[in-house]
Amino acid sequence: MNLRDIGEFGFIKRISQGCLIRPQNIIKAIGDDAAAFIPTPHEVMLVTTDLLVERIHFFRNTTSGFNLGYKALSVNLSDIAAMGGMAREAFISIGVPENCSVDFLEDLYNGMKRLAAEFGLNLLGGDTTRSKTDLIINISVLGSAFEKEILYRNTAQPGDIICSTGFLGDSRAGLHLITNDMESDSNEFKALRDAHIIPKPYLWEGRFLARQGGVHAMIDVSDGLSSDIAHIAEQSNVGIRLYSEKIPVSDHLEKFCARFDFDPVEYALAGGEDYTLLCTISPDKVDHIAANYLKRFRNPLYQIGEITDSGKMELVLWNGQIRSFTTSGWDHFKTE
């Protein structure tokens, strides 16, 4: 069955169940010219939007609808997390080619609904239309935070300790397994594949960090550690020093790199789509905050380097040598 058989309104009827997770503040959900809701009192509104296009960001034959929906929403939630906010309402536009089944689309919405339910987010509206060739997904997420608690990219201070909320490089290793069709390794390296396919947004962690006095700047790792920390450096007008021995690398990634003769730190630095949070914390507060973080989330807050006033991007190797690094991250258009 495809959309031609049930029509736009028939489709909306099919997927609208389970979209409203937190109906308290909703005035008008799907079905009118616009959705209407009451913003969270006294909080600032945060908005992020991401466009995913088939054959650029995903291939329909290498993903389930569920995983695609889950990840599409997750990367938006990660942007809200990186500001220290909570995600509230999501708006989903899809452009659907003839050869895309309603089953696939329902599965896509189920992936989004699973994540929405987990974080108390409403799927409050969107647009459903045709596309000639590629499946298109645009998601806009509205979130909120107290103005004083919002964390930006341009507010890091020299001396701050740079921290990561999770392992780095797993997602890129997972992508390597998928694109090279290493299905035989899928069980052994399931965690790596999952890191790429269904990344979790660090929403609670971001909110927690935003509420601690002493966290100065934050960003999520979408383009890769080296590239994203460079955004902080550039916008805050500071330097970066990372320690390769401190960069958190999972056992799975170690094993993967040992097997294929890759360098795990290279993977962590130049990877991407980890969706962990990087934050910079005042040196006199960092141990206290890290201890509270561990208590709250039962996961360490990894201290991986520091903000300097040199303006340089430096990596300290195991042997103490200092190497400069550049943003080898992912700019969607630029050629070298």
Residues 67-126 that bind a copy of itself (CB under 8 A): 78-80, 82-83, 85, 89, 91, 93-95, 124-126
| CB of 26 or CB of 316, closer to a copy of itself | 26
Q: How far is the CB of 24 from a copy of itself (least distance, A)?
A: 14
Q: Nearest to residue 220, comparing CAs of 79, 330, 331, 119?
A: 79
Antiparallel, parallel or unpaired: β 302-308 and 161-164: antiparallel
Torsion angle of C-alpha atoms 238, 243, 246, 252, degrees rounded to 10:
110
Q: How far is the CB of 110 from a copy of itself (least distance, A)?
A: 20
| CB of 193 or CB of 216, closer to a copy of itself | 216
| CB of 128 or CB of 292, closer to a copy of itself | 128
The set of residues, in sequence order, having a beta carbon less than 8 Å from that of 24 and lying 6+ positions away, is: none
Q: Which residue from 13, 28, 211, 296 is in contact with a copy of itself, where contact means CB under 8 A?
A: 28
Q: What residues between 251 and 310 interact with a copy of itself by CB under 8 A?
A: none
Q: How far is the CB of 269 from a copy of itself (least distance, A)?
A: 20
Q: How far is the CB of 229 from a copy of itself (least distance, A)?
A: 14
Count of residues touching a copy of itself (by CB under 8 A):
74
Q: Which residue from 99, 101, 133, 326 is in contact with a copy of itself, where contact means CB under 8 A?
A: 133
What is the rounded distance in angstroms from the CA atom of residue 95 to the CA atom of residue 108? 13
| 272 Rama class: left (phi>0) / alpha (psi -120 to 50) / beta | left
Q: Nearest to residue 89, comparing CAs of 25, 43, 149, 33?
A: 25
Q: What residues between 220 and 259 interact with a copy of itself by CB under 8 A?
A: 220, 235
Q: What residues between 142 and 171 interact with a copy of itself by CB under 8 A?
A: 142-143, 145, 147, 150, 152-154
The set of residues, in sequence order, having a beta carbon less than 8 Å from that of 85 and lying 6+ positions away, is: 46, 143, 144, 145, 150, 206, 207, 210
Q: How far is the CB of 227 from a copy of itself (least distance, A)?
A: 11
Window of 2-10, 14-22, 111-119, 184-192 that interacts with a copy of itself by CB under 8 A: 2-10
Tell me the two tokens of residue 260. Answer: 């294929």
Q: Which residue from 263, 287, 309, 331 is in contact with a copy of itself, where contact means CB under 8 A?
A: 331
Question: Does position 322 bind a copy of itself by CB under 8 A?
Answer: no
Q: How far is the CB of 258 from a copy of itself (least distance, A)?
A: 34
Give the number of residues written for the chain.
Answer: 336
Tell me the two tokens of residue 141. Answer: 């997420």
Structural element, H or E, at residue 96? strand 86-96
